Amino acid sequence: MDLLELQNPLITLVQKAGVAILEVYKMSQQYPVRTKADHSPLTQADLLAHEILTAGLQALIPEYPILSEEGPKVPWQERQRWACYWLIDPLDGTRQFIQQSGEFTVNVALIQDHKPIIGLLHVPVTGETYYAGSQWGGAYKLDANQQIIPLHTRKWHFGQTTVLTSQAARMERIQALLGQLGPLTQIKMSSAWKFAHLAEGKADISPRLGDTSEWDTAAGQCILELAGGALVDLKGCPLRYNMRDTVLNPHFIALGDVAQLAKRLFSNSPLPKGEGNVRKKQN
């Protein structure tokens, strides 16, 4: 299937997973919460979404392997031969799902040559679907009324920086990392939804100084990049996927206005030429 033809089937698929998640969410007290080997929680919603997504993706392109947070662990000896594969987090923000905060997403990305070339983030509680593709003409949001809205990151101004952080982030560490940006306004959010907020110009930057895995970031990175932003490590290099025998990410910073923020933060190690995306003109 041509990548152009994948857009609508993928949107339908992540929305289907979102419906299944919401059904469990409404009756969450009736379902037990398990604990995985890494001590993270696992719910029936994680498993249902995993089953829906993997079956749907295999039906779309059977030859592409799938790496899912809730799927079997794939040895590095096998993974390193993958040139193109699906990378998914069926329910990103399981703790927030359990806490009934609403801040959780369905994440699906297509990785090719270590880069996300398709990304979808679906927010079950709002019905919004954020999506982007290298052949889809940019990044977009499909709102709850089925209206398509192009996504563009916003221009950054010194001293007017809105920072999205995880619920547990320590502001003194964030301030030490981003002090050269002037005063910071903090908004706490969970899950990959932060990338979508940056892509639609609701904030400027989002650092992450804790543990994350590649399925947590790939879909959001694709959307953010095609909206004009970037997702980089602490040296200013874009995150890449399936390049090591671990699926853990380095610490990273998600940027909205790449030109201005990268210049401030990485004066000695700017983004490589051609990485990220040139900001689109806003009307």
Calpha distance 63→74 (Å, rounded): 16
Q: How many CA atoms lie within 13 A of 91 on its CB side?
A: 31
Please return the burial class of 79, using the count of CB atoms within 10 Å of its CB with bins 0-12, 13-18 and 19+: middle
Q: Which pLDDT score is estimated for 259?
A: 92
Same structural domain for residues 120 and 39?
A: yes
Same structural domain for residues 140 and 170?
A: no
145 within domain boundaries = yes
Calpha distance 210→216 (Å, rounded): 12
**Residue-range definition of the domain harbouring residue 29:** 3-150
Q: How many CA atoms lie within 13 A of 106 on its CB side?
A: 35
Q: Which pLDDT score is estimated for 101?
A: 93
Q: Which pLDDT score is estimated for 33?
A: 85
Q: How far is CA 97 from CA 3, 12, 66, 92, 106, in A?
A: 32, 22, 24, 9, 12
> Of all helices (H) and strands (E), which one includes residue 176?
helix 171-178
Calpha distance 80→265 (Å, rounded): 32
273 within domain boundaries = no
Q: How many CA atoms lie within 13 A of 220 on its CB side?
A: 30
- The CATH code of the domain that includes 209 is 3.40.190.80
Same structural domain for residues 120 and 254?
A: no
Same structural domain for residues 106 and 210?
A: no
Domain end position, chosen among 97, 126, 150: 150
Q: Which pLDDT score is estimated for 279?
A: 34
Domain end position, chosen among 123, 150, 177: 150
Same structural domain for residues 145 and 21?
A: yes
Q: Which residues of the chain have pLDDT under 50?
A: 269-270, 272-283
Helices 44-60 and 7-26 sit at what angle, rounded to 10 degrees? 160
Asked whether 262 and 99 are in contact (CB, 8 A), the reply is: no
Rg, C-alpha atoms of the chain: 18
Same structural domain for residues 144 and 185?
A: no
- The CATH code of the domain that includes 139 is 3.30.540.10
31 within domain boundaries = yes
Calpha distance 99→243 (Å, rounded): 34
Q: How far is CA 212 from CA 69, 93, 250, in A?
A: 11, 11, 8
Same structural domain for residues 87 and 140?
A: yes
Calpha distance 109→131 (Å, rounded): 10
**Number of domains composing the chain:** 2
Q: How far is CA 123 from CA 74, 97, 247, 249, in A?
A: 28, 12, 24, 23
281 within domain boundaries = no
- Please name which of 88, 217, 204, 200 lies closest in space to residue 140, comparing C-alpha atoms: 200
Q: Which pLDDT score is estimated for 1?
A: 64
Same structural domain for residues 201 and 108?
A: no
Strand partners, 92: 105
61 within domain boundaries = yes
Q: Which pLDDT score is estimated for 30?
A: 66
